[in-house]
Amino acid sequence: MKIFIAADLEGATGVVHHDQLMPEGRGYAAAQRLLTADVNAAIEGVLRVSPSSTFVVGDGHGPMRNIILEELHDAAELVIGSAKPQNKPLCQLQGIDESFDLACMVGYHSKAGTPSGLLAHTYIGSLVREWRLNGMAVGEVQMNAAVLGSFGVPVGLIVGNSDLEPEVRAWDRNVEFVSTKRTLGPTAAICATPGRTHSLIADAAAKVVSQNIHADLYNIGHTRIEVDTYRREQCDKASSVPGITTSGEFTIVAEADTAAKAFQLMWSACTRALDETPSWLA
C-alpha cells in the first residue's frame, strides 16, 4: 500500500503547551522526538500487516521542519519545508496525489473555538475565528479529509488529543481514532507515556490496513469555504487574491468544484491576510 501521513504537533504524545511548539521554546526538541516516534509507530503498525508499504509523511506544523529525518523509518519519505503557497499550495497535504491508497493524520488537535480545547486552532490561530466547509464549522482534520477525498484517498486513522474525537465523530463514524492524552484544558492534559501511545497507534494502524479499510472516502464535490477572520484588515488583504470574494466585513470566501481547489485558493488568501510573514512561513 501507498500511504500518506499528515503530521501535526499539537496532538502528539506529551505535547500540551506553546513552549513545545516552536523552535525557540524550551520543550520543542523533546516534542520533535515525540512526534517523530508517533509517526514511526503508525508506519510500524502498517508494516506489520503490509510489509511492502511505502509512505510519504507531510510535516505539517508551523515551520514544517519538525520531524527528525534521521530518526524517521526508512520506509518513508518526508515532505519538509515552509507552507508558503509557492512551496505548498496544499499546505499540510503537499505531496498527495491519486496514487495513494490511504491517509492517516497523526498529532492533531481540535478546531478554533472548541471550548477548553487543547491548543485548539484552525491552521492560523491569529487569523481564523471559524472555518466553514459547505456551511459546517470544521477543523483541520475534516478540511484535510475533504482535500484527500478529492484525490480519491480515504482517511483510515486519526491520532490526536481526546477533545478532537467528538469533532471527528461528527462527520466520520468509521475512522480509527487514537487519543494520545486526555484533555484538561487549553494547555494541560493527562498524558500517556510514549510506550503506551505507540502501541495503541501501531495496533490501530495495523487494524486499519488488515481490515482492508472501512475508511469512508470523503469526496464532497463542489466546495465553498468561508473563513471568519478576527480583523477587517485581514479580510481586506485576503480579498486581493484573484478568485477570493468576501461576505460581510470579516469573512473570506473561496469556491471551486473540488475541495482541493477551494482549499488552495483559501490557503493563498489566508497567507496573504497576515500582516507580516511570520517566521514559520518564511
Q: Which one, 230 or 280, has the nearer CB to Zn ion?
A: 280
Shortest Cβ 121–Zn ion spacing (Å): 8
- Rule CB under 5 A: say whether 8 interacts with Zn ion: yes
Instruction: Name the minimum Å distance from CB 89 to Zn ion.
Output: 18
Q: Which is nearer to Zn ion, 10 or 228 (CB)?
A: 10
For 192-219, the DSSP string reads: PPHHHHHHHHHHHHHHHHHTT--PPP--
Task: Closer to Zn ion by CB, 50 or 140: give it.
Answer: 140
CB of 107 to Zn ion, least distance (A): 8
Residue 58 CB, nearest approach to Zn ion (Å): 12
Single out the segment in contact with Zn ion by CB under 5 A; choices: 37-45, 60-68, 95-103, 128-136: 60-68
Give 83 or 202: the residue with its C-beta nearer to Zn ion: 83
CA angle 181, 183, 189 (to 5 degrees): 70
d(CA 241, CA 138): 23
Alpha helices by DSSP H, 91-161: 140-150
The span of 3-11, 88-96, 150-158, 218-226 binding Zn ion (CB under 5 A) equals 3-11
97-115 core/surface letters (b: 16 or more CB in 10 A; e: else): eeebbbbbbbbbbbbbbbe
Q: Pick the piece of the chain touching Zn ion (CB under 5 A) from 61-69, 173-181, 234-242, 274-282.
A: 61-69
- Number of chain positions touching Zn ion (CB under 5 A): 4
Mark the segment that binds Zn ion (CB under 5 A) among 57-65, 141-149, 178-186, 194-202: 57-65
Q: What's the chain's Rg over C-alpha atoms? A: 17
Nearer residue to Zn ion within complex by CB, 8 or 176: 8
Q: Which residue is nearest to Zn ion (CB)?
A: 61
Give the three cell numbers for residue 31: 516534542
User: The C-alpha cell of 109 is what?
Assistant: 488537535
The distance of closest approach from Cβ of residue 249 to Zn ion in the complex, given in angstroms and rounded to an integer, is 28
Helices (H), the chain: 28-49, 140-150, 165-169, 194-210, 232-238, 259-273
The answer to the question of residue 61 lying near Zn ion (CB under 5 A) is: yes
Output the smallest distance, CB 106 to Zn ion, in A: 12
- In the complex, minimum distance from the CB of residue 245 to Zn ion, in angstroms, rounded to a whole number: 28
Q: Are strands 54-59 and 136-137 parallel, antiparallel or unpaired?
A: unpaired
Please give the span between the terminal C-alpha atoms of the chain, in angstroms, as a whole number.
34
Pick the stretch among 1-9, 230-238, 241-249, 250-258 that binds Zn ion (CB under 5 A). 1-9
Signed CA dihedral, 282, 229, 261, 133: sign only: positive
Residues that bind Zn ion (CB under 5 A): 8-10, 61
